[in-house]
Chain A
């Protein structure tokens, strides 16, 4: 999570959780510290709407669950800055940030299709980063939840857990999925889709990748 989110989250957790039964997230499931530092990341213009820069949120998860078994001992810290590509040297043309929850049947349906999209469009520079934030009973997602999820869907793109629901900053509360397209050159939000709007989102991604290929 970003420093800004960390401070907001700490305050929110205290308001919600001090003296209450709010579930506590084990610290090992929260990324932070120097592994999330990204000195070159944009420092201003942050926000949650198109044209705004996304925070450098930082999570625990699996970067390539199709190549490295998604088990706790293989967990990695993954930050949006990993895909920030201002000079175009990383081969990232477009970032799709997705959220999912186990209770969300629309997310389940959507994730049945994402690996095919990743396989087709990954070579053209699309990076999908998906964040699982709650289990089937609205508890914060765990690495075990994530393992079962990626095993089931044969997930072939970076997938993380977001037990603090940091990405809720970009959508109405208790809603999923959210799909947000981000320009890796600037980390500015290009489009935001609340819900699985594949019929309009994927054609946009195709056109954007084609346009960016023309620029490269």
Chain B
């Protein structure tokens, strides 16, 4: 389920003009937007099917949140969430948490980082007790260093660029990201150790924010060639599901969402099909 603020170049959202709960725009952060937008301007819903209900009995989930330097951090939030239920863990100043769940959760995962100050990631967890060890999260760029997501413009941050079409619609999570200042594009590269903890063979991975931002048509995506891949190398793009609604990818799972290649000059990884939603992304060489 997207939490939506629709903004577009051709059909600007009219403050307080549409939607079932008509009224002034106050309460939308004073941004002049209207949550929910209007139906004609909304992006089409994703078509990924929801996971079957298959609850697992989760016991005690524990771990320690550290930053890219290995230093303990509270890292915003730590949650044990499934598609049906969500629990917040208390994180100590030493970054350690112990969440005594003792109950069934559908598609259980540990989500860590908050998506505001820290990159938000998710790791599936199994039945019974899970000691997840050290979980690395990375600080996102400051809001002030973010780039606005505007139709017809390129938004760049942290080595990631999104090229929005002239007719692009931008729908954002206006409940989590309360003000326009927080709804800017920010990206941060995940260090190798963070990628390894995710159990993936990605050459590069990034956390993108604001989470759950939907842009349609998909913005094309360009990444710096940090892995120094050869020009023309064919690539696959994966996205992490952080949303229990699972519109685009399964919850707490990585799924391929597109293909691309290294640019002719070797400077960039280019994905013309782009990403359907802002979340964590990873890139691997096409087998």
Which A residues fall within an 8 A CB radius of B? 65-66, 69-71, 101-109, 111-112, 136-138, 144-145, 147-156, 172, 174-177, 194-197, 199
Instruction: List chain B positions with a Cβ less than 8 A from chain A.
Output: 1, 3-4, 19-24, 26-29, 34-36, 53, 76-77, 79, 81-90, 103, 105, 111, 114-116, 174-176, 178, 242-245
A108's closest neighbor in chain B, by CB?
Answer: B1
Between A108, A156, A175, the greatest number of chain B beta carbons within 10 A of the residue's beta carbon is seen for A108
Q: Take A154-B21, A155-B21 as given contacts and tell me if A176 and B85 are in contact as well, using a CB distance cutoff of 8 Å.
A: yes
User: How many interface contacts (CB-CB < 8 Å) are there between A and B?
Assistant: 124
Q: How far is the CB of A110 from chain B (nearest CB, A)?
A: 8
Task: Name the A residues within 8 Å of B26 (CB-CB).
Answer: 71, 147
Specify the chain B residue showing the minimal Cβ separation from A198.
B84
Q: Are B116 and A137 in contact (CB under 8 A)?
A: yes
Determine if B20 and A102 form an interchain contact, defined as CB atoms under 8 angstroms apart: no
In angstroms, Cα B114 to Cα A137, docked, is 8
Contacts of B82 in A (CB 8 A): 106, 195
CA distance A153 to B1 in the complex (A): 10
Chain B residue nearest in CB terms to A134: B88
Tell me, rounded to whole Å, the shortest Cβ–Cβ distance linking A175 to chain B: 5
Q: A69-B21, A108-B3, A109-B1 are in contact. Are A175 and B86 (CB under 8 A)?
A: yes
Let me know if B83 and A106 touch, CB within 8 A: yes
Instruction: Flag if B84 contacts A70 (CB, 8 Å).
Output: no
A40 to B35, CA, bound (A): 40
For the complex of A and B, list the 6 residue pairs with the smallest distance between their C-beta atoms, beginning with the closest: A69-B23, A147-B27, A195-B85, A112-B1, A151-B35, A152-B35
CB distance from B15 to the nearest CB of A (A): 12
| Distance between Cα atoms of A70 and B243 in the complex (Å) | 26
Residue of B21, B29, B103, B176 most packed against chain A (CB within 10 A)? B21
A sample of 10 inter-chain contacts (CB < 8 A) reads: A106-B83, A108-B1, A109-B1, A137-B76, A148-B29, A152-B4, A194-B85, A195-B82, A195-B84, A197-B84
Residues in B whose Cβ lies below 8 Å from that of A174: 87-90
Q: A66-B20, A69-B21 are in contact. Are A152 and B86 (CB under 8 A)?
A: no
Q: Please report the C-alpha to C-alpha distance between residue A71 and residue B25 in the assembled complex, in whole angstroms.
A: 9
Note all chain A residues with C-beta closer than 8 A to B84: 106, 195-197
A173, chain B: closest CB distance, angstroms: 9
Whether B86 and A151, one on each chain, are in contact in the complex, defined by CB atoms closer than 8 angstroms, is: no
Q: Tell me the minimal C-beta distance from A152 to chain B in angstroms.
A: 4
A194 touches B103 (CB 8 A): yes
Q: Which of A107, A154, A175 contacts B20 (CB 8 A)?
A: A154
Given contacts A137-B77, A137-B114, A152-B174, contact A65 B21 (CB under 8 A): yes
